[in-house]
Amino acid sequence: MIYRFTIISDEVDDFVREIQIDSEATFLELHEAITNSVGYSNNQMTSFFICDEDWEKEKEITLEEMDNSSEDDSWVMKETLLSDLIEDEKQKLIYVFDYMTERSFFIELTEIVTGKDLSKAVCTRKHGDAPKQVVDFEELAATNSSIDLDENFYGDETFDSEDFDPEGFDVDINSIADDSFDKESL
CATH of residue 130's domain is 3.10.290.30
Q: Do the strands 57-62 and 103-113 form a parallel or antiparallel pair, or are they unpaired?
A: unpaired
pLDDT in tens, 95-105: 999 988 889 99
Q: How confident is the model at residue 153 (pLDDT cuts 50, 70, 90)?
A: very low
Does residue 65 sit within a domain? Answer: yes
More confident residue, 164 or 84: 84
CA separation for the pair 16, 149 (Å, rounded): 32
CA gyration radius for the chain? Answer: 23
Range of the domain at 128: 2-134
Is 16 within a domain? yes
57 within 8 A of 94, measured Cβ to Cβ: yes
Classify residue 111: in a domain, yes or no: yes
Identify whether 119 is part of a domain: yes
Which of 4, 17, 28 minimizes the C-alpha distance to 118?
Answer: 4
User: Which has the higher per-residue pLDDT, 136 or 84?
Assistant: 84
Q: How many domains does the chain have?
A: 1
CB contact burial 36-73 (16+ within 10 A = b; e otherwise): ebbebeeeeebbbbbbeeeeeeeebbbbeeeeeeeeee
Measure the CA–CA gap between 6 and 23, rounded to whole angstroms.
15
Residue at 152 is within a domain: no
Q: Give the Cβ contact number of residue 29 at 10 Å.
A: 19
Strand partners, 7: 17, 107
Q: pTM here?
A: 0.72
Residue 125 lies in a domain: yes
Q: What is the pLDDT of residues 32-61, one digit of tens each?
A: 999 999 999 888 899 999 999 999 999 999
Higher local confidence (pLDDT), 132 or 151: 132
Quote the CA–CA distance of 49 and 106 in Å, as a whole number. Answer: 10
Assigned domain for 67 exists: yes
